[in-house]
Structure 1
Amino acid sequence: MANQRRDVFRFRIELLDIQPPIWREILVPASYSFWDLHVAIQDAMGWEDYHLHEFQVPEPESGELLRIGLPDDEGFGTGTVTLPGWTVGVIEWIEEAGQTFDYDYDFGDGWKHRITLVGVEPRIKGQRYPQCLAGARACPPEDCGGVWGYENLVEALLDPKHPDHEDLRNWVPNGWGPEIFKASDVRFDNPKRRWKLVFGEA
């Protein structure tokens, strides 16, 4: 059983429906809430936290999906309330290697991530967490139109004769390329700072 003060979770994050895969492997404290994990996923993947998000975690006994993210009293029309992520500890639902759950980001573009708990490890004294250990390929640019838009974007960027090549080359972030990623470049924000930034509280 994981200990939230002494252990860290090793998670693999994979963006679904894109080949070759876009993925990251991170270590986060076992004391993290789902809000904290959301911030770590955003930073590791390279998203900019512009849009809504939601975790979908299967309940072990019933298999029903527990929805965790930004508070929602109306269930976004699904009839299911979304619990506020900062009130739910990851360890309450996830602590066995091999467990998987989903993380949706930007309901318009529809980015779905599969999160897998690779393992539970002891904290190393003096190490700072979270950490990005490995990964592959760049995160799609924000608002590029989901999987279909991303595939068209990459096709146009790789073909100088494509009619949209020049416009899209100027539109993507400076230095962005579909294969560019270095785990050592990842910088993690403080989840409490991000919460205050999002909700405008001092």
Structure 2
Amino acid sequence: MSAGKCEVCLEEKLKLVTCGRCGNRKYCGAGCQRKNWPTHKHACQPKKQPSWILKITIPDSRDPQIWRTLVCPDGATFQELHYAIQVAFGWAAAHSYDFVARDPTAEERSVADIRALMQHRMALDKGEHRDFGPRQNFIRIINPDDDKMTDSMHAYGRKHSQTPEKKADKVCVGEQFNKKEWKDAEWEYMYDFGNNWGHEIEIIGRGKVDDVFECTSGNGHAIAEDVGSMSGWEELKNAYRAAQPDNEQKKKMHWFENSASNFDPEGLKERESYVDLSIINALLRTSMDCTD
């Protein structure tokens, strides 16, 4: 084994200490490493890690179920992941969002407890921040522009005093997915706190070191923005399935093909499973360039 040279004292040694953050500087020992840090810290960048391969599913969707497989760079922020999900699922980025790491051991919240929910909403109206039900999540990662979104008023049930919150543009995906404290967490992305479009995020592997998002597979046409929750989406699909649609169904189809925020002039007829990866990936490249 040949000797290496310390980058501070220039002493040659068979075994050198490597900067654990960037892996680019070598030292004869911790003393020289500490001595060099005030200078090196300005150039020290964390080593790039393999991308995350995520299967993201809208679990309430049926016949067909809507899902995408997304390659996400380790160093991407959750805000960038939000934009990527918007592109991959064909959303219009018109509403607020959050990410949560659900605690699988948390006590179930009773959705039937309407009285407790109303008491919580009344307390919020008075400026009091009381918790509704037991803590559900390890962390909640929020939209940094949440106060500008009209639907953010519906986020009351997603806040909890024992759940820390971080802004999505300030925290990286790899930092959170690697947390040992919540390695069994169930990740969820919620879009539009009025219609509540929940997306389950399953980490299915690691890919190559990369700086770009990519959608590698998927199924299911993009859901119409503001269609009125999943029941509204089912009604729209049924309109296209009808052999002789009534006037109300015709109005729904016309709205989807001409007026929805993410309208599709080709409609849904025999296209309910439609997804075009080439278009998604072209949009991912251009849209993510715009967020830099």
Local SS of the residue matching 2:177: coil
In the TM superposition, what is the alpha-carbon distance from 1:61 to its structure 2 partner?
10
Gaps in structure 1 of 5+ consecutive residues: 196-202
Residue of structure 2 in register with 1:70 after alignment: 143
Report how many aligned residue pairs link the two structures. Answer: 190
Q: 1:135 aligns with which of 218, 227, 246?
A: 218
In the alignment, the residues of structure 2 paired with residue 4 and residue 54 of structure 1 have an alpha-carbon distance, to the nearest angstrom, of 28
Alignment of 1:35-114 (within 5 A): 35-58=79-102, 64-71=137-144, 76-77=155-156, 78-80=159-161, 82-95=165-178, 100-114=186-200
Q: 1:115 aligns with which of 186, 201, 206?
A: 201
* Structure 2 contact 103–185 (Cα < 8 Å) conserved: no
Q: 1:18 aligns with which of 61, 82, 89?
A: 61
In the TM superposition, what is the alpha-carbon distance from 1:171 to its structure 2 partner?
1.1
In the TM superposition, what is the alpha-carbon distance from 1:153 to its structure 2 partner?
0.8
1:183 aligns with 2:267: no
Of the structure 1 ranges 102-111 and 59-68, higher mean CA displacement relative to structure 2 is found in: 59-68
Gaps in structure 2 of 5+ consecutive residues: 1-45, 107-135, 257-262
Q: 2:250 aligns with which of 130, 144, 166?
A: 166
TM-score by length of 2: 0.58
* Structure 2 contact 50–207 (Cα < 8 Å) conserved: yes
Of the structure 1 ranges 27-36 and 55-64, higher mean CA displacement relative to structure 2 is found in: 55-64
Of the structure 1 ranges 132-141 and 171-180, higher mean CA displacement relative to structure 2 is found in: 171-180
In the alignment, the residues of structure 1 paired with residue 137 and residue 226 of structure 2 have an alpha-carbon distance, to the nearest angstrom, of 31
**Overall identity of the aligned pairs, in %:** 25
**Larger CA Rg, structure 1 vs 2:** 2
TM-score by length of 1: 0.81
* Structure 1 contact 31–91 (Cα < 8 Å) conserved: yes
In the alignment, the residues of structure 1 paired with residue 267 and residue 74 of structure 2 have an alpha-carbon distance, to the nearest angstrom, of 33
In the TM superposition, what is the alpha-carbon distance from 1:176 to its structure 2 partner?
3.5
In the TM superposition, what is the alpha-carbon distance from 1:95 to its structure 2 partner?
3.6
Q: Describe the superposition over 1:106-159 as per-residue Cα deviations: whole angstroms up to 9, x where unpaired.
A: 1111100000111112226xxx62111000011111000010110111011211
In the TM superposition, what is the alpha-carbon distance from 1:98 to its structure 2 partner?
7.8
Residue of structure 1 in register with 2:233 after alignment: 150
